[in-house]
């Protein structure tokens, strides 16, 4: 538990400030409980032990974000290889592994937890060393008794040191080449050494260490009218080296030892073209070892990516045991703990619509995502399958007929939907769901209706965050009109921090002005875009201050759906897939659509 965090990114930060993770690391105290019946942990089934462990526990947790929940040394856990594999495969270019003949639930003891950061990206991850625990499995088979554990699922909040720390999402100004980094006043006063305010322009040199221990030097100056804290010299080099774009966040942390540290929390899990062995390849390579090690009953490693949700495949035993003591049935109401940081306090409630194995052939009897559910709040697309331990029962089972979708009935110009599906009776909803499941479609609205109506294309070279209403974007690297935030472009070789969105419009593609765009990325790389006016076809202008984003049409084979409450559109394009979830056209570059640089 990291306290004292000033998070400047949330306004209604009721519990965003709360870091509700259990802190644990390789040097955490607590005796290691190796199951007596297990062989000595000699052979660790992973080749990544050479990666150095990060230097600062607090910094690691700060970078990982408030949602990370790591098991601890000695914990009894249940490992779901099915979930592990699913996440490995969803993370991109990993080859599909064949059958592995593992049980769906492997009862394990946590031997060690090591904190790492990727060299190229500074992405944090943890290496959890597990070993199969036959005693635990036997206990489960004997009736699923609870296990005595050092801490419970919602265990004791560990008091750790309270470092002075702040986290700021980088603005366009922060990441522009035009200037430095604007430090929030409270943050500067809290984390940086005091300045001599008697001077006209007090300044000092700051030295901060990143997760790898690398030192970065910054000039910290207090100037301007009104006065403010700025990091100038050295900041740009840091932004360039770390390939930061606006929307990413930096963290500064002053430890009790007085050492200043800084970390990164990227807006999207950057697919930085690091040719070093990446997290995924490392993991994939490791899954073969996992299979091997489990069959040999030796230690194996699972890599937690705190921002990718892979932690779900390791469940505390007691939570697993408790969740399966409930009988789930269709119609049961539940709530789930938030998964996204941005989602604030919205309703993460839903109704269980069915119980079934997700892959009866390969993983018979598996509890992994064995519940099909329907969410009350459809603005946030989510898996329509959850595992029992992810949810919490909400009161008694609701009657089938009493359920009313909270979706309101609205239709907007520019969004012609042939069939108005803003309300659904449950029967239809369930039928619809079944169809969707069969096709692996997760939307609420059939897609063909949307064809050729609304689109926006973000080339891959446009990494993006928030575009506000009325914003216009220029093709010039320096200018855009207000209000603008966080629009950036990058090419593989050099980071271009301002959009260069002028490009060729391929023949046959409609051209749009961006009128009212709201977008954000969440952990699942999902993007929502609000409606745009379609313009009459006209030649492309490259005039400054009138930039366009060039769309490509939604074509046959794409699915699209609309969220009436917010007039959000989300759609799936045929341009490739980056996760096992839906892929949005603007997640991928469309050759010739937006020409970077």
Partner DNA sequence: TTGTTGGCTAGGTGCCGACAA
Partner DNA sequence: TTGTCGGCACCTAGCCAACAA
> Residue numbers of the site for DNA (CB under 7 A)?
8, 171-174, 176-180, 182, 184-187, 201, 219, 221, 223-230, 232-233, 235-237, 477-485
DSSP code, position 48:
G
Q: Which of 31, 50, 275, 482 binds a copy of itself (CB under 8 A)?
A: 275
Least distance in Å: CB of 187 to DNA?
7
Cβ atoms of 531 and 456 closer than 8 Å: no
Least distance in Å: CB of 120 to a copy of itself?
9
Q: What is the CA radius of gyration of the chain?
A: 25
Could you tell which of a copy of itself, DNA, none binds residue 275, using a CB distance below 5 to 8 A set by kind?
A: a copy of itself
**187 conformational bin, left if phi > 0, alpha if psi -120 to 50, beta if neither:** alpha
Phi and psi for 290 in degrees, rounded to 5? -60, -50
Q: Which residues of 347-361 are buried (b: 16+ CB within 10 A; e: fewer)?
A: ebbbbbbbeebbeee
Give the span between the Cα atoms of 268 and 248, in whole angstroms.
8
CB nearer to DNA: pick between 180 and 564: 180
Give the span between the Cα atoms of 573 and 558, in whole angstroms.
5
Decide: is 276 part of the binding site for a copy of itself (CB under 8 A). yes
Span near a copy of itself by CB under 8 A; candidates 100-108, 223-231, 272-280, 335-343: 272-280
Query: Which residues, including other chains, have CB under 8 Å from residue 371's CB and lie 6 or more apart?
Result: 328, 352, 354, 355, 385, 386, 387, 388, 391
Could you tell which of DNA, a copy of itself, none binds residue 237, using a CB distance below 5 to 8 A set by kind?
A: DNA
Least distance in Å: CB of 119 to a copy of itself?
10
Least distance in Å: CB of 249 to a copy of itself?
24
Could you tell which of DNA, a copy of itself, none binds residue 276, using a CB distance below 5 to 8 A set by kind?
A: a copy of itself
Least distance in Å: CB of 241 to a copy of itself?
8
- Which 3 state secondary structure label does DSSP give 78? strand
Q: Which pair of structure tokens corresponds to residue 317?
A: 């035993």
Span near a copy of itself by CB under 8 A; candidates 215-223, 268-276, 425-433, 534-542: 268-276
| Count of residues near a copy of itself by CB under 8 A | 3
CB nearer to DNA: pick between 61 and 220: 220
Least distance in Å: CB of 586 to DNA?
21
User: If DSSP states are collapsed to H, E and C, what string results for 505-562?
Assistant: CCCCCCEECCCCCCCCECCCCCECECCCCECCCCCCCCCCCCCCEECCCCCCCCEEEE
Cβ atoms of 517 and 567 closer than 8 Å: no
CB nearer to a copy of itself: pick between 274 and 383: 274
Least distance in Å: CB of 491 to a copy of itself?
12
Q: Which pair of structure tokens corresponds to residue 72?
A: 């601890």
Cβ atoms of 180 and 232 closer than 8 Å: yes
CB nearer to DNA: pick between 237 and 540: 237
CB nearer to a copy of itself: pick between 203 and 240: 240
What pairing do the DSSP bridges indicate for beta strands 260-265 and 106-117?
unpaired
Least distance in Å: CB of 277 to a copy of itself?
9
Give the span between the Cα atoms of 487 and 498, in whole angstroms.
7
CB nearer to a copy of itself: pick between 146 and 212: 212
Cβ atoms of 169 and 247 closer than 8 Å: yes
Least distance in Å: CB of 505 to a copy of itself?
23
Could you tell which of DNA, a copy of itself, none binds residue 434, using a CB distance below 5 to 8 A set by kind?
A: none
CB nearer to a copy of itself: pick between 238 and 552: 238
Count of CB atoms situated within 10 Å of the CB of 273:
12
Strand partners, 284: none
E strand or H helix at 320:
helix 317-323
Least distance in Å: CB of 591 to a copy of itself?
16
CB nearer to DNA: pick between 406 and 477: 477
Decide: is 237 part of the binding site for a copy of itself (CB under 8 A). no
CB nearer to a copy of itself: pick between 240 and 437: 240
Least distance in Å: CB of 262 to DNA?
16
CB nearer to DNA: pick between 297 and 485: 485
Could you tell which of a copy of itself, DNA, none binds residue 478, using a CB distance below 5 to 8 A set by kind?
A: DNA
Decide: is 50 part of the binding site for a copy of itself (CB under 8 A). no
What pairing do the DSSP bridges indicate for beta strands 260-265 and 203-209?
parallel
Could you tell which of DNA, a copy of itself, none binds residue 479, using a CB distance below 5 to 8 A set by kind?
A: DNA
CB nearer to a copy of itself: pick between 364 and 492: 492
- Within 13 Å of residue 276, how many CA atoms lie on the same side as its CB? 11
Binding interface with a copy of itself (CB under 8 A)? 274-276
């Amino acid at each position: 538990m990291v306290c004292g965090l000033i998070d400047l990114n949330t306004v209604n930060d009721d519990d965003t400030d709360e870091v509700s993770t259990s802190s644990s690391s390789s040097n955490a105290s607590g005796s290691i409980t190796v199951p007596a019946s297990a062989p000595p942990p000699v052979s660790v089934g992973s080749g990544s032990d050479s990666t150095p462990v990060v230097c600062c526990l607090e910094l690691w947790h700060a970078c990982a974000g408030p949602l990370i929940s790591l098991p601890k040394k000695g914990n009894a856990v249940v490992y779901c290889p099915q979930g592990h594999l699913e996440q490995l495969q969803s993370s991109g270019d990993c080859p599909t592994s064949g059958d592995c003949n593992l049980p769906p639930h492997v009862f394990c003891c946590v031997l060690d937890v090591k904190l790492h950061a990727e060299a190229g990206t500074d992405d944090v991850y943890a290496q959890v060393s597990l070993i199969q625990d036959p005693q635990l499995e036997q206990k489960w088979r004997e009736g699923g008794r609870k296990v005595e554990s050092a801490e419970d699922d919602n265990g004791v909040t560990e008091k750790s040191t309270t470092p002075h720390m702040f986290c700021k999402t980088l603005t366009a100004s922060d990441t522009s080449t035009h200037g430095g980094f604007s430090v929030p006043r409270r943050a500067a006063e809290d984390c940086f050494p005091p300045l001599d305010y008697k001077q006209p322009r007090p300044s000092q040199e700051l030295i901060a260490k990143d997760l790898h221990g690398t030192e970065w030097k910054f000039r910290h100056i207090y100037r301007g009218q009104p006065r403010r804290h700025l990091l100038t010299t050295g900041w740009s080099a840091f932004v360039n080296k770390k390939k930061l774009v606006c929307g990413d966040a930096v963290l500064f942390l002053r430890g009790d030892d007085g050492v200043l540290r800084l970390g990164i929390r990227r807006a999207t899990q950057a697919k930085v073209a690091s040719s070093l062995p990446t997290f995924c390849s490392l993991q994939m390579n490791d899954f073969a070892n996992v299979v091997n090690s489990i069959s040999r009953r030796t230690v194996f490693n699972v890599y937690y990516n705190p921002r990718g949700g892979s932690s779900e495949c390791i469940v505390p035993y007691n939570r697993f045991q408790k969740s399966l003591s409930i009988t789930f049935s269709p119609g049961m109401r539940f709530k789930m703990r938030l998964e996204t940081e941005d989602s604030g306090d919205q309703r993460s409630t839903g109704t269980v619509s069915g119980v079934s194995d997700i892959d009866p052939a390969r993983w018979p009897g598996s509890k992994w995502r064995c519940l099909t559910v329907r969410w009350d709040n459809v603005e946030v697309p989510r898996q329509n399958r959850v595992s029992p331990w992810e949810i919490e029962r909400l009161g008694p089972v609701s009657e089938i007929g009493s359920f009313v979708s909270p979706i309101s009935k609205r239709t907007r110009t520019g969004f012609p939907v042939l069939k108005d599906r803003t309300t659904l009776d449950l029967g239809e909803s369930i039928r619809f769901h079944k169809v969707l499941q069969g096709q692996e479609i997760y939307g609420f609205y059939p897609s063909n209706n949307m064809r050729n109506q609304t689109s926006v294309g973000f080339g891959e070279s446009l990494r993006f965050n928030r575009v506000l209403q009325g914003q216009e974007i220029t093709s010039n690297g320096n200018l855009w009109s207000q209000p603008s935030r966080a629009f950036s472009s990058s090419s593989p070789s050099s980071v271009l921090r301002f959009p260069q969105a002028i490009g060729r419009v391929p023949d046959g593609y409609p051209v749009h002005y961006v009128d009212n765009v709201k977008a954000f990325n969440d952990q699942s790389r999902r993007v929502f875009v609000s409606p745009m006016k379609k313009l009459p076809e006209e030649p492309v202008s490259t005039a400054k201050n009138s930039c366009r984003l060039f769309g490509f049409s939604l074509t046959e084979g794409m699915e699209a759906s609309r969220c009436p409450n917010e007039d959000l559109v989300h759609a799936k394009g045929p341009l490739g897939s980056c996760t096992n979830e839906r892929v949005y056209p603007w997640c991928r570059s469309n050759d010739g659509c937006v020409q970077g640089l």
